[in-house]
Amino acid sequence: MAVGEDAGTIEKTAEKAAGEAVATTAATATAETLAVRYPVAPGYRVNVRSGPGTNYRIVKVLPYDARVPINCQCPGTTVSGPYGTTNLWSNIANSQFVSDAYINTGSDGYVAVRCA
């Protein structure tokens, strides 16, 4: 114990450091969850649409071997692709959606929260 410190001060300092470590770990886990990127079907250049359906305009086309984040998912137009037939669409960026039929999520259902 340093000169002028008491046991109560040391305990409080240790508790504060432990709390900061927990907060940092939680923030890192959240960032890692958001950083997950899923592969688009190999050999496909996939259309990215402004909404969850083929009736929405194409805003861009993904390059071959792209990997995309999934921010949220929602139902939309039914599409058939290399990963089956589904009406599930994934939001990969603001106003950018891709059919789940072209994303290898490893699941036939939701892998992210529903879009609001």
Closest CA to 78 of 47, 53, 57: 53
Contacts 24+ apart (CB under 8 A), 31-37: 34/69, 35/69, 36/69, 36/70, 37/67, 37/68, 37/69
pTM: 0.71
Q: In 3-state terms, what secondary structure has residue 42?
A: coil
Which runs of consecutive H residues, i.e. helices, occur in the chain? Answer: 7-34
pLDDT tens for the chain, residues 1 to 116: 445 545 554 444 444 544 444 444 344 444 444 579 999 999 999 999 999 999 999 999 999 999 999 999 999 999 999 999 999 999 999 999 999 999 999 999 999 999 98
